[in-house]
Amino acid sequence: MPKHKKQASSSSSDSDDGPVDRNPPAEKKAKMGSRTNDKEPTWVLEGKKLVKIREFKGKVYIDIREFYEKNGELLPGKKGISMTPEQWRKLLSLGDEVNETLRTSC
């Protein structure tokens, strides 16, 4: 049986505003490497993989973690690592060596 399309009701308005978009635009996703507006300094690596500077039990950590959404809230998942500032600096100091190894092995 063919479906009948509803005809748009004519408006008594003289406005030339055009059709009203009933679907609000989708939220823009954070771009890779961008910083988000959070109380904790946060950078997006990709999707829900974030880098955050967090405080835990009075100490500062660099947290690289995959987050998940629950009830509209972004929560930290089990997949990730938290590093002290000293560990973070050590990792950064290894960057050139790691990059060189990647160049030769890939």
Domains of the chain in start order, with CATH, are 35-105 (2.30.31.10)
Predicted local confidence at residue 94, as pLDDT: 98
Q: For each successive 10 residues of the chain (106 residues), what is the average pLDDT?
A: 56 56 51 61 96 96 96 94 98 96 91
Distance CA 70, CA 52 (A): 19
Predicted local confidence at residue 32, as pLDDT: 44
Predicted local confidence at residue 106, as pLDDT: 79
Predicted local confidence at residue 36, as pLDDT: 58
Predicted local confidence at residue 80, as pLDDT: 96
Predicted local confidence at residue 31, as pLDDT: 44
Residue 91 main-chain phi, psi, to 5 deg: -60, -45
Predicted local confidence at residue 70, as pLDDT: 95
